[in-house]
Amino acid sequence: MNQNVRRGLLFSADEIEAIRRKISKYKWARNLYDKLVAAINETGPEPYGYEEKTNLPRRFSLKWPKADISAFPDEGDDRGLESLHYCRFMELALLARISDDPSALKRVRDLLPVLAEVLLRGSDLTKAFQYVGWFTAWCAATILVAYDLAYDEPTWTQADREKVEGAFKDIMERVLAEPSARHLCNSGFYYQVYKVVCGCFFSRQDWI
């Protein structure tokens, strides 16, 4: 285990417990929670949220996609990233933590090493590392938060941790080398988000 990693990017353990109490106490919180559960379990009248109305990729659920690189088709310059941008993988990880469901946490844990490969190379592992743009940085930031939420899942191996964390560090190196990542305007904002998230997670203030 990497002793330099700071966990709790989005919520601390106490804050997760506070969310659970709100769900138990307040009807509005329970309704929101139930809606998220229905979407992720693929049940209810609109199991995928808004995807069919806007032709966006499906959201991640407990059933989709399979934890295999072939589930992420290459799509132009972004090479597989399009299906990550709108899929709300972070919500799946958050629900897994709030529900404390071992099967949901395991699902997130199994998907993360695959998503690390998609971020770097798309769905073809024989290809060189893809261009890292604002799109990659934004996707990587949300996936890093999901990794943080699933960090304590008990089946993590050291090899998979190194693979996932190595991908985030590699993307960070490319972001730091990108001239447009030094600005706050337009798409440069998304680079800054990744710098903050990644810097906090790895305790690298120089990245921030």
Pull the structure tokens for residue 194.
Answer: 């990744």
Show the beta-strand stretches assigned E in the chain.
none
Least confident of 76-80, 121-125, 163-167, 173-177: 76-80
- Please state, in angstroms and rounded to a whole number, the distance separating the CA atoms of residues 124 and 79: 9
Q: Give the whole-angstrom CA distance, residue 75 versus residue 62.
A: 24
* Cα 158 to Cα 113: distance, rounded to the nearest angstrom: 12
Helix 13-25 / helix 89-99 crossing angle, nearest 10 deg? 80
Per-residue pLDDT band for 5 (boundaries 50, 70, 90) equals very low
Report residue 110 as tokens.
């199994």
Looking at every residue in the chain, the average pLDDT score rounds to: 84
Fill in the DSSP letter of residue 5.
P
> In this model, does residue 84 exceed pLDDT 80?
no
Mean predicted confidence (pLDDT) in 23-46: 86
- Listed in order, strand segments (DSSP E) in 149-208 are none
| Residue whose C-alpha is closest to residue 195's, from 176, 179, 181, 208 | 208
> What proportion of the chain, given as a percentage, has pLDDT over 90?
44
CB of 61 within 8 A of CB of 55? no
